[in-house]
Amino acid sequence: MININGKEFNKFIDKEEIEKVIRSLAERINLDYASKSILFLVVLKGSLFVAADLLRHIKSDSEIAFISAKSYGNEMQSSGNVAITGDYPNIEGRHVIIIEDIVDTGLTLHSLIKKLLESKPASLEALAFLSKTEMRKTDVNVKYIGIEIPPAFVVGYGLDFAEKGRCYPDIYIIKSLLK
């Protein structure tokens, strides 16, 4: 068990399981994009660990860029208020894959996809290491999902609670029934 800012979290997904899921996601991408060049857009900061682990298994020629899409502040609920920042190359005609740590309501990813589609990529897909599919408030297509989880707050492996807890190599789930 760990304690972050007075909240208790139990171990939920260990690093061996994480590595297995990462490898299988990479295998799927390697098959789907065999001879295509990919532009990975990594959504900071949470997806840093997913990206670093996943991208070392990618065989296609690829480019990496970082963007930010913030919907959370320091709370445990999505505000629906999304700001997107970051420098990324022109995506027109490119095969783009967005890398997200977690998709919850889907509001963040939905805004991101809408904005990116305006630049006419050749293709645009999303990867989410974790998905709380029950929590969706918008219809958003996530082609690559690592693990479906229940609608409870999680930390570790890049995911934070008020900026704390990102550095744990395993994923922890909140003990109370808070969503």
List residues with catalytic annotation: 104
- If one asks whether residue 71 binds ligand IMP (CB under 6 A), the answer comes out as yes
Any contact of residue 102 with ligand IMP (CB under 6 A)?
Answer: yes
153 forms part of the interface with ligand IMP (CB under 6 A): yes
Name the minimum Å distance from CB 31 to ligand IMP.
26
Beta pairing, strands 171-174 & 154-155:
antiparallel
> Which of Mg ion, ligand IMP, none does 29 bind, CB closer than 5 to 8 A by kind?
none
Instruction: Report the Cα 79 to chain-centroid distance in Å.
Output: 17
Under the binding rule (CB under 6 A), the answer on residue 105 touching ligand IMP is yes
Minimum separation from the CB atom of position 123 to Mg ion (A): 22
99 binds, among ligand IMP, Mg ion, none (CB under 5 to 8 A by kind): none
Instruction: Please identify which residue in 62, 78, 119, 133 interacts with ligand IMP, judged by CB under 6 A.
Output: 78
Q: Is 40 in the site for ligand IMP (CB under 6 A)?
A: no
How far apart are alpha carbons 153 and 166 in whole angstroms? 13
Using CA atoms, how far apart are residues 18 and 129, in angstroms rounded to an integer? Answer: 9
User: Residue 41 is encoded by which pair of tokens?
Assistant: 């857009």
**Radius of gyration of the chain measured on its C-alpha atoms:** 16
Could you say which of ligand IMP, Mg ion, none residue 125 binds, taking C-beta under 5 to 8 angstroms by partner kind? Answer: none
Quote the CA–CA distance of 13 and 29 in Å, as a whole number: 23
Residues within the interface to Mg ion (CB under 5 A): 46
Beta-strand relationship, 95-103 and 123-131: parallel
Of these, 33, 46, 58, 156, which contacts ligand IMP (CB under 6 A)?
46
In the complex, the residues that contact ligand IMP under the rule CB under 6 A are: 46, 71-72, 78, 100-109, 153-155, 159-160
